[in-house]
Chain A
Amino acid sequence: MQKIFILSYLSIAALFISCSNYVEVEQPNTRSPKYTSDFQYLINNKNLFEPSYTLPLLSSDDIDVTNAALMTSITENDKRVYQWGEYYYTSDQTDANWINLYKQIYTANEVLAGVLSSQKGSETSKKTIYAEALMQRAYSYLILMNLYSSIYQPGKGDEIPGVPMLLSPDLYAKLNRPSANSVYNQIISDVREALPSLAVIPDNNFHPGKTAAYALLARTYLYMQQYDSAGVNAQKALDRQNTLLDLRTLTTSTLPKNLQDPEIIFSKTATTSYTLSLNPQLLSLFATSDLRYSLYTRDGGALYPAFTGRAFYRNKWTGESVNVGPSVSEMMLIKAECLVRANKYNEGVQVVNDLRKYRFKSADYTPLTASSATAALKIVLDERRREMMGRGTRWFDQRRLCNDAGLMPSVVRVVNGVTYTLDPMSNRYTYPVAQKILDLNPEIGQVPR
């Protein structure tokens, strides 16, 4: 009898001991990322990776608000951005742009750290996911650099502080700013590392493919003012994707949504959209027959609050967020600018004309010509303003053009009777770091105001 008890008891005990992994069962939808598909799910998170920024829409000279009623519709926070204030956020507010971009970087780092050793996936898919994560991280750093790091000046890239750079999901790393060059070099090396593994044709324009990689390089070199490399990469992007929207055949109700837009190479959106009055100086660059004027903008009188002038309305017609990611037309304009800057100004203007053919009714279209490189550069930059208005990219152009004498005049704004001026190379071209973020890690360091 005793033996039976002891034996049965020992067998039960043995059962427990053999089940040391007993408790480690997987929950159906909450787990530590483990399978390649888990990382795929992370990188598929459009809600996380697609939104990019908002503030450049307010700080760039694309807009100019003079109407008092319209001014009251701008929140106090946004007003501080609009007037290039000393600080943007109070001590208990945080900076959504910063948070969002670094959240993307964190998630990308999480994917980069785990996907290659994940289970149940093909090597190809692991590498593609890895490459996409590199692209997302590089894109976020490029935006961060152009928001929070001082204007990049060729030759001074090692002295200019960049932005805190985290390359692994580490919650306790120091957040010192490495040099601007270190960050840019990381961006470029990430994209180059990603290139071979990226899909030639991704499933949709939210996923970066090879074209997106070249487009991102083109943009990066452009902002670094390395125009040769920018041109080369813009061409490589265009070699793979060159479809333009034919505005001649479109109405405001047939404009495609972002996911179906053939011009978009890498879909990124602004986090908030505003219907604020466009800068009259920008509007004056448009011929009224320009289809972008009629399709992409709307009369302020039809809006609430009503104002005289026009507002950017491209995305409102499709009920989506503004696309701020690289597009075919942007690549054409980079290519054009680089050709002009390389003194091949006729070729550059030709590229501009190739674009403009899709922006005017055939009857209204006349090709542009330039008599000098300077005139050609103005043609390209004016076209750039027209084509890329309302997307915040103008802010990045404003910053880099400060390096070109005479290309970036002072911007003046009047808010409630007070005049604010943004001079070229002003410290106010760089966004301040929110005090709350600085308080937690003072080593980030505030940019000079």
Chain B
Amino acid sequence: MKKKKIFPQIFTYLWKKIVLLSGINKSARIGLVVVVSVLLGNIYPTEVKAQSLNQTITFEVKNQSLDRALQQLNRMPGVKIAYSVQQVSKYTSVSVEKGTRTVDATLSLLLERTNLTYTMKANSILLIERPQKSVNKRRITGTVFDRNNVKIPGVTIRAEGANVGTVSDAHGEYTIEVPEQAVLVYSCIGMIPQREHVGNRSVIHVQLEEDAIMLKSVEIVSTGYQRLPAERATGAFGRISSEDLKKTPAVNIMEKLEGSTPGVNFDVRTNTIRIRGVNSFQTTDAVSPLVVIDGFPAIDQSLASSVSTLGSAGAILSRLNAEDIESITILKDAAATSIWGAKAANGVIVIETKKGKRGATSISFSTNLSISAPADLNKLDRMSSADYIDLEKELKINGFITDPTKFTGTLNTNKPVSDALDWMFSADRGTVTAAARDAALAKLSQNNNNDQIKKYLLQNAVSQQYNLSLSGGGATNTYYISSNYTKDVPVFRSNQADNYFLTGNFSNSFLDDRINLKIGMNYNYSYGKSNSAALNALGSTNYGLRPYDMLVDEDGNRIQRSVDLLGSVVDNLASKGYMSWRYNPIDELNYSNSTRKDNRLRVTVSLDGKINNWLSASVSGSIQKLNGTTDILDDQDSYIMRNSINKATTISSAGKLVYGIPYGGRLITSYNQKDDKSFRGQFNVNKTWGRFATLNFLGGAEIRESQGIKYQQTRYGLDPDTYMAKSYDPSVSYMTIYGWTSTIGYNDSQVSKSINRFLSYYSNAALSFFNGKYLLSGSVRFDDYTLAGYSQSQRARPLWSVGAKWKPKQEKFTEFLNFMSDLSIRGSVGIAGTIPSGGSNVAIMTISGNDRLTNETYGSILTPADSRVSWETTTNYNLGIDWGILKNRIKGTIDLYYKNTKDILYSLPVNPTYGWISLQKNGATMKGHGFDIGLTAKIIETRDWNWLSNLNVSYNTNEVTDSRFAKPTSYSVVGGSTPLVGKSLDYMYAYRWAGLDNTGQSQIYLQDGTILKSTDNSKTVTSEDLKYMGRTTAPYFGGFQNSVQYKHITLSANITYAFGHIFRRQSVNNYPQYKGTFSGVIGAQKDLALRWKNPGDESTTDVPGLVAINYNSYSRYQYADILVESASNIKLRQIALTYSVPSALLQKTIFKSLNAGISVRNLGMLWVANKEKIDPDYVMTNNYTNLPPARTYYFTLNMTF
């Protein structure tokens, strides 16, 4: 039964979808009919125009069901009859004698013995119940909207039991006469049918809700080269819609994506994306996915970046306006990615921007505001002032720090000590009394600078986003225009980012839709400012604050500390005319700002033409430009400049100051320009052979050129008012204050210019049989690109994939699967490749510049001619199951994959006799596997209540399989990153901790169980003595999203989790590693207060003591197994509450829709495995520069007009 109906259902569905999308304009409609006809494959487009009841047709039917007869009629050129299956199901046998008649006459004959009749509505023939005589008819008018208050044309409106019906017009409006007390049913494919009691109303406006599951079945995935229904795809895709993106109001698009897609790890802290782990030993860019925007690779291969390089501290620079994004498709397996060739070995992220829709103009405005307070500094891993002073005392007593005032010579260049140590040394010298010292130390230990840091250096993080867009379209054109302003201010003062976006997407069709022109334009300006004064104050450089170092004194005056030379020395120098050599972080908030300004422009044009009903061709091109400048301005009054000028200043015999470097500020400007141009020609074939088979084929070629230039210029002696700089010779030496000479030196590196060209041929074909019951796909791409040192045959290599899909539900023998509403099984295999970047088949040289002495230009061989270097290839296997049960209320996707990489490029040792110590060779092999599971459930689905739940589970692991990467004999793996056979790339080893000895120093267990003291050099530690701890990236990760809707209120919660990995706790840093004088600022970690002090402490602590400290002891503690902890955690990312104003309330307003929401993000960890409750994602080597993000409150408002 079901199968029988499939055809008319598809037809009516498509028809209604098209009516819905188009609008009433006749020519547009006809144009769209062409598309429908082409899809059905048996009507020539030109014949359709004549649709009318007066058209003559030849028709015959014998004892067929009415349904079948109408299907037959609908296959006639120009005939289009809309009806519901229920209407006709009771008429199982109708007959019409063979004859040539008008459509009108044929229908009359056909419906003679039924109680049905027909009417022309909105240019289509609609089957209706024969009107019966009725009393008290009421004329109802109204409009049908969707939830975004877009008017819906083509909605069928029927009165229950009254045999009358109509269809909404292009403006979504309808008029119907129904009996009083009737119940109207509004239905439309893709929408949940809605019933309305007429009552005594004469105007009924209705808002229909989208039927998510119905829509899902026609979900479109985009590969960047084509858009195809997900059910026609054999590959593994992840898809994020604009609605999904809207759910998270964050400025950083990475936060919006986090946890959204199984198998994809969006790391917000580092702004990196990994799809299904890594395939290569290379790091960074070489394992990042390809980012494609509107069909062309983006000029910036990242979605967002932080203004500053200082961890997560900086404001966010966006590359994309999230509001412009229609959808993001993530291509995960070979079948999906191979169309992108060599660049797609790590997956592809395809971003489609919003396009206009035919229909009335719609204006939407949205804004959101976020506020978050600085993280609580009292929760930082910092010692109290008293503990810190105690540590300083011990350092002093044991001679790690000596009195800096003791010196011989003319200028004391010793580094100053802390306030506490200064008191101690002063007392030792007798310049203050012991009582005064103790009083001072007691006072210092009462200090806590957290409040001052918060007050003067930190601020509430605030972000603001405003978005205004306009979209709509007429019969032959559409437009989408948007503008966005986003401002992001992080907690660290004097940091900020502003992002501006302008987007225009236009389309025009000509010659009855046979030619389509699309133009997309996007401009982005981003401005970012970073200043590290606040971060430095929290760090452990000499600008760092000890726990008792206050920023301002009791009177509110800024405390000026001397950080490079002793206070007495700099005061003496200042009296001679030197600039102030003292430092206060609050002052520096105004200076030494790094500002970054990026301009990005993207223009994409495409022209499609239909050649006949199954073939079309398109040409498209894209121009992208990036123009970025970064200015680092160290003003004359900045500490950096005062410090450098003072260092380069001497006093002449005449008593005058002689400046070695020009007096004034310094401005370092770096320029970065990139130009990308692409051009593409493509054929598309879409051919159907009845119900037997459908072929989708595309083939094309493209060229791309990418040019870049980068350079930097340093100016000295910059006047803050006039911006005039002074000339200088970087090679002339000057006398420093220390008595030796120095030069400014040439800091501006060479101009770096690059040009790369790409030439590609690609093709993709999908053949589906029996209405998609079986599907075969294949893809091949051939890439050739600029790569010095390779012949074309080495450079260019075809990469391919094949895939298949089967829908067992459509088989006759699968009735036992009736409990499932949807089931398909797909598999794919393919090869992805990476071209070697560090090796070549002919020698490559680099020109290095001019020799300092001979002034001759010189160069060197960068890579030798290695005939045996070739591609690194990854074979990908994917098996996926898409299923749904309970009418798709619960549905999911399961993907299993296996990856095998061979010929991995790795720098392997070479005999230096050949002239090289190591070379990139196709050395290694590795394999990876994992699974991605996505699960969606509509747990509650009623008129008023909805509960939607979404769970992602990802697992990924890899293993080096090459025996040449055997475990080394030395203990270097403890901190190392060299690949090891049998281990994943992110392994971690640690020493087996055996506690402290009675001198407070580390002991470790060797393999045989013996204890090795840190001072025992008689035995060497080998890798066998180490303990394997686990992996540092999470093998299991994912997200869990829930949203509960009651009428117009929605409450949602997002959770992300990561399990199965470990991290190394940072226990002690900036701690002496050997006996002798210690320089620098000591770390302030709480663990340092727990250090061993006296014999016997070893029973209670593991932190090595100072007295007998040695390097082995320090490093073995740092790398000990006791500091390795489980990093498993569950985080509550967001709770959001939104309210949509019911459309009924908006009737008389200018709004089509209005909704507002409040969300709270970064709610912290719901659960974490480590007992210290440390957030494992924010454990970094630098102290405090990576505070976990603080709780952030967002207020959002969306409206359409």
Contacts and interface: CB of A to CB of B under 8 A. Distances in A.
B970 interface: yes
Contacts of B757: 22-23, 25
A106 B864 contact: yes
B513 to A, nearest CB: 13
A5 interface: yes
A106 B861 contact: yes
Interface stretch (A181-189, A409-417, A436-444): A436-444
Nearest to A259: B853
A178 to B, nearest CB: 13
B1080 interface: no
A42 interface: yes
B681 interface: yes
B1008 interface: no
Interface string A67-89: 00000000000000000000000
A358 to B, nearest CB: 25
Contacts of A46: 851, 853-854, 856, 858
B858 A28 contact: no
A365 interface: no
A9 B681 contact: yes
Range, interface on chain B: 35 or more
Contacts of B945: none
Contacts of B789: 32
Contacts of A444: 913
B679 to A, nearest CB: 8
Contacts of B612: 2
B791 to A, nearest CB: 10
A363 interface: no
A8 B845 contact: no
Contacts of A22: 703, 757, 759
Contacts of B435: none
Contact of B914 (A2, A37, A41, A166): A166
B40 interface: no
Q: Which of B853, B910, B919 has the most CB of A within 10 A?
A: B853
A48 interface: yes
A25 B758 CA distance: 10
B918 to A, nearest CB: 10
Nearest to A99: B912
A427 interface: no
Given A9-B683, A28-B754, A32-B842, A94 B912 contact: yes
Interface stretch (B764-772, B780-788, B822-830, B1179-1187): B780-788
Nearest to A11: B681
A219 B162 CA distance: 117
Given A22-B757, A171-B866, A31 B617 contact: no
A48 B862 CA distance: 13
Interface in A288-310: none
B914 A106 contact: yes
Contacts of A105: 915
A446 to B, nearest CB: 14
A206 B864 CA distance: 25
B858 A31 contact: no
Contact of B916 (A26, A171, A204): A171
Contacts of A37: 857
A366 interface: no
B754 A27 contact: yes
A24 interface: yes
B784 A12 contact: no
A311 B843 CA distance: 44
B860 interface: yes
B197 interface: no
B912 A98 contact: yes
Interface in B842-889: 842-848, 851, 853-854, 856-862, 864-868
B911 interface: yes
B869 to A, nearest CB: 10
B916 A41 contact: no
B913 A16 contact: no
B842 A107 contact: no
Contact of B788 (A12, A31, A98, A175): A31
Interface in A26-58: 26-33, 37-38, 40-42, 44-48
Nearest to B707: A25
B609 interface: yes
Contacts of A387: none
Contacts of B970: 92
Q: Which of B842, B861, B915 has the most CB of A within 10 A?
A: B915
Contact of A47 (B845, B858, B914): B858
Contacts of A175: 911, 913
A106 B787 CA distance: 23
A31 B861 CA distance: 10
A23 B701 contact: no
Nearest to A30: B846
A172 B862 CA distance: 18
Contacts of B966: none
Given A9-B617, A30-B845, A259-B853, A41 B858 contact: yes
B844 A102 contact: no
A213 B847 CA distance: 28
A405 interface: no
B755 interface: yes
A164 interface: yes
Interface string A422-449: 0000000000000011001100100000
Contacts of A1: 511, 514, 609, 611
A23 B785 contact: yes
Contact of B854 (A38, A44, A164): A44
Contacts of A42: 845, 858-861
A22 B758 CA distance: 8
A284 B28 CA distance: 108
B619 interface: yes
A102 B786 contact: no
A44 B851 contact: yes
B1100 interface: no
A164 B864 CA distance: 19
Contacts of A418: none
Contacts of A164: 913
B854 A204 contact: yes
A20 B703 CA distance: 11
A9 B619 CA distance: 8
Contact of A166 (B703, B752, B913, B919): B913
Nearest to B843: A110
A103 interface: yes
A169 B915 contact: yes
B909 interface: yes
Contact of A102 (B754, B858, B912): B912
B90 interface: no
Contacts of B854: 44, 46, 203-204, 206, 259
A33 B914 contact: no
B750 interface: yes
A140 to B, nearest CB: 11
A398 to B, nearest CB: 26
B753 interface: yes
Q: Which of B754, B864, B913 has the most CB of A within 10 A?
A: B913
Contacts of A437: 911-913
Given A23-B784, A440-B909, A33 B845 contact: yes
B847 A41 contact: yes
16 contacts: A19-B703, A23-B795, A25-B756, A25-B757, A28-B753, A28-B754, A30-B845, A30-B847, A31-B844, A32-B789, A41-B859, A45-B859, A47-B851, A106-B914, A110-B864, A114-B843
Given A45-B859, A45-B860, A99-B912, 5 more contacts: A1-B511, A9-B617, A19-B759, A23-B795, A169-B843
Interface of B: 511, 514, 609, 611-612, 617, 619, 681, 683, 701, 703, 750, 752-759, 761, 784-789, 792, 795, 840, 842-848, 851, 853-854, 856-862, 864-868, 909-917, 919, 970
User: Which 5 pairs across A and B sit closest by C-beta, in order of nearness?
Assistant: A106-B915, A41-B859, A99-B912, A12-B681, A44-B858
